[in-house]
Structure 1
Amino acid sequence: MALPYAPARWPSATATVVLWGAAAASIVFWGLRLTAPADAAPPPAVGGPAIVAVDSTTLSRFLGGVSTDPVVTSTPDAASRFALLGVVADTDGQGVALIAVDGKPPRPFRVGGSVGGRSAGGYVLQSVGPRAATLGAAGTAAPAFTLQMPTRPLAVLLPPQVLSLPDAN
């Protein structure tokens, strides 16, 4: 005759293992806690307050204040502010030059036209030639400087190299 009801064994076995594990963990914790030396220094504090030096003029400028201190700015060399990227010229020195001012995208400028406006110093494109453009101050005939297009290195053709496969030995 078979028993009508047989209870499962795994719930009581699992509960027993969990209780014995908790008892063992408690014994290990308190054992380590009680055997630790009493004169041990506490661990150092992590992330204390940081000391930051504040520049009051920069902070006031950031918050919208106006500085009363005289500001000394250095102006870069005028020729270094311009980059000549292209030239379309005829034999009479007339044409168009593609010039980038202060690192901005390049724009075309005609001979006789103002290059960059007042912020660029009021220069005028005086003439263009093959791979060059001459700029001068507005209202003067003397050229201030000449921009040259960057030279590209010539391509060097090398003989094709034969690839060798490593030996399988």
Structure 2
Amino acid sequence: MNHNPLMFHLSVYSRMVLPAASLLVWGGVMFSAVTWGLRWSATGVVPSDATFAVQGLPEMDLAAAARSLGAVPVQMAASPDLASRFQLQGVMAGGPNAGAALISVDGQVAKPYRVGASVTEGWVLQSVQGRRISLGTSMDGPPMLALELPAKK
């Protein structure tokens, strides 16, 4: 016969705690196993019957992209073929004989040029004024082509 009520109460409590703690521990172990199993299966080998369509990047029309961004060449005394070779994409004005421009030649990637630098064979960046540049055959010669960035919206 149990004549100590506190001992009786603790023995019932301890019988419930041990199974509950065991259940929690094993639940954590199962959760961890399932999580790692799913992670490993996601990075595993692709089944051989799966087909994937490999797509390359679409061809890009650089002239159309430049026009959509607002780089419109403006010519002074040059033929239309000549004006279409150069595309002004950015300007950094400096002093009277300083500054730089970001110019794309013949649809290639735009490169920065300083005033006085040769843009391409026979063409020199003569001046930069605000949003406009002048190109010519020499630094001291008359400007043959002017390119201007479009007005801000």
Q: Which has the higher contact order (CA 8 A, sep 6+)?
A: 2
TM-score range, shorter chain: 0.3 to 0.5
More helix by share: 2
- Tell me which structure has the larger Cα radius of gyration: 1
TM-score normalised by the chain length of structure 1: 0.40
